[in-house]
Chain A
Amino acid sequence: MHVAGPHEPPDDADLIQRSWQDAEAFARLYDRHAALLHRYVARRLGDGVADDIVADAFLDAFRRRRKYDLKVRDARPWLYGIAANLIGKHSRAEVRMLRAYARTGRDPVRADGAVSGDEIDSRLSAQAVQRDLAAAMAALPAADRDVLLMIAWADLSYREVAAALHIPVGTVRSRLHRARAKVRAALGGYDPTALREEPVQ
């Protein structure tokens, strides 16, 4: 049970509850989470689409704020879950962009379309790995991709991903396992000893 002391900054649930009476308090939730949510969406769909999805996700969340379960003090699973629904509508575009990247080495998601090989860890032949990875991610079912990226990019726990996507934790586990197996298979040509299972929780 959470009881905020007088000097403790409000957590997400506090802000949402406050917004029930003072709607503008919801803007603080935006200030707190919009940037990282935007980056997450931009990594999947590019920053132009991310602008719209983040704005829509917060509008959607604002309208649903009275239904929010105050037991969940961190609103990220809720926000990423709402965003996941909106991302899902762009699923074909996401796959198309991943395939284009795999095929051409130019990533449509990045504004200049540049290959970012210089900035990628050079222990592996970065660009080739990136392209294979893009192909592998394009081949994943959308539901598996959601789970994989919520864990790898949004740093949500299994439990949080389960809450975000309204699926059992066991389903999160099995989808993640499947997604990682496919990614490893796609990367099979690269230093196999470097690719190992890593517990994420």
Chain B
Amino acid sequence: MTDLDLIRDFRADVPTPGTARLAAGRARLLTTVRAERPLHRRLPSRPWRLVAMGAAAAAAVAVAVGFLVVPATRPAARHLTGASPSPSASSASVPVTQAEVAARILSTAASTVTRAPVKSEPAPDQWIYHKTVQYGQPGVVSPAGLSTSEDWITFDGSRTAYYQGGQLIVHDTVGGTHATGLSPVAAFNANATPKTAYDAIASLPAAPNALLAAVDKAIAQDGGIASVAAGSPISAVAPKTKGEGEFDYLILLLWNAAGGVGAPSAAQAATFRAMAAIPGVTIQQEVTDAAGAKAIGVSADGGYDQLLLDPVTYQVTGLRQLSTGIGPIEQGPPRGTLDLSLAYATVMEVASPGAR
């Protein structure tokens, strides 16, 4: 027996705890996980997709799933009419590029949200009720694959609430306190809440190029567009494009703001105009969101990650992700099939947690 053996034996009778003992810690972890869930963007960065697919494969998938898609690498190379993106249709009447369709719709979206009634910024402790419908949540086995969840959050994200077994559980959110002295964008990077999203969007410049430059800076502050360790299997495949990174960041801002009272009208309009300036942005019309509502899908990666807008009000209603069929972690479902879809069925200011 060596000295190390003696040390190994020291207090060796301390038991390994069972699940009951570990349950409280697990519940605390899940509370934090769930507090983040409705707020943070669920759609992942998928930096491997462009290189792995190639432009031709992207176009083939686009046809297969009925997309209006042009590969991001050749945004103006492909013409199409209406909803028929096959090459043979390109000779028909007035050719319209994807970029032109996207620019037109995003311009309409910008002017429409500018005319929307102005919602004043709520008090930090204002409770907000969310009813969220999600398709593709792990563990959900309902026939339609849909799950509905309800949660409450204060505008500043410092408290969250949900029902568990019929009991309302209210938490002070871990990490919910705001560091002082941060810029609005840095505050959002540190802690995504309806308020930090609202403030960050409001702080961005109005001109598209200036706005995108500010977004580039925000992304750099947040660790760069691909938060993937250098040398990892993913980073070896391909980095995301700058445009995709910008678009993802704007989605992140808009989705988090939509969990509150949205963004200030003029600022939201500016984000739409900036999106139109991102190369390779495409629109898919006639999408149905997870809550069953009609929507318009906006995407910067050929339609795989989409921000969903209401086709009338152009307010943010959901997010959607289609499978690229490949992934470093596990084999995904076939390309183009719906992977994940998330929509706010209800977002409403309420007097107290638990109120609907």
Shortest distance in angstroms between A168's beta carbon and chain B's nearest beta carbon?
Answer: 20
Q: Are A70 and B10 CB-contacts (below 8 A) given A18-B329, A62-B33?
A: no
Partner of A107, one of B11, B43, B174: B11
Which of B79-87, B224-232, B280-288 participates in binding chain A?
Answer: B224-232
Closest residue of B by beta carbon distance from A70: B232
Partner of B227, one of A66, A119, A120: A66
Residues of A within 8 A of B18 (CB): 35
Query: Is residue B234 contacting chain A, with contact meaning CB distance below 8 A?
Result: yes
* Contacting pair B3 A195 (CB below 8 A): yes
A109 CA to B14 CA, complexed, in Å: 9
Query: Per-residue CB proximity of A14-35 to B under 8 Å, as 1/0?
Result: 1001101111111100110011
Shortest distance in angstroms between A19's beta carbon and chain B's nearest beta carbon?
Answer: 8
Where chain B touches its partner, the secondary structure class is loop
Closest residue of B by beta carbon distance from A124: B1
* Contacting pair A39 B138 (CB below 8 A): no
Q: Are A47 and B14 CB-contacts (below 8 A) given A14-B329, A38-B22, A71-B229?
A: yes
Closest residue of B by beta carbon distance from A101: B11
Closest residue of A by beta carbon distance from B228: A70
Q: Are A68 and B229 CB-contacts (below 8 A) given A23-B37, A58-B25?
A: yes
Query: Is residue B24 contacting chain A, with contact meaning CB distance below 8 A?
Result: yes
Partner of B10, one of A31, A71, A130: A130
* Contacting pair B32 A152 (CB below 8 A): no
Residues of B within 8 A of A200 (CB): 4
* Contacting pair B1 A24 (CB below 8 A): no
Query: Is residue B331 contacting chain A, with contact meaning CB distance below 8 A?
Result: yes
Partner of B17, one of A14, A47, A63, A107: A47
Query: Is residue B26 contacting chain A, with contact meaning CB distance below 8 A?
Result: yes
Query: Is residue B104 contacting chain A, with contact meaning CB distance below 8 A?
Result: no
A82 CA to B28 CA, complexed, in Å: 17
Residues of A within 8 A of B234 (CB): 17, 70
A51 CA to B328 CA, complexed, in Å: 34
A7 CA to B8 CA, complexed, in Å: 36
Closest 3 CB pairs of A and B: A21-B44, A55-B25, A70-B232
Q: List 15 A-B contacts (CB under 8 A).
A: A17-B234, A17-B328, A20-B45, A24-B33, A24-B34, A34-B25, A35-B16, A59-B32, A66-B223, A70-B234, A120-B9, A129-B6, A180-B3, A184-B3, A197-B2
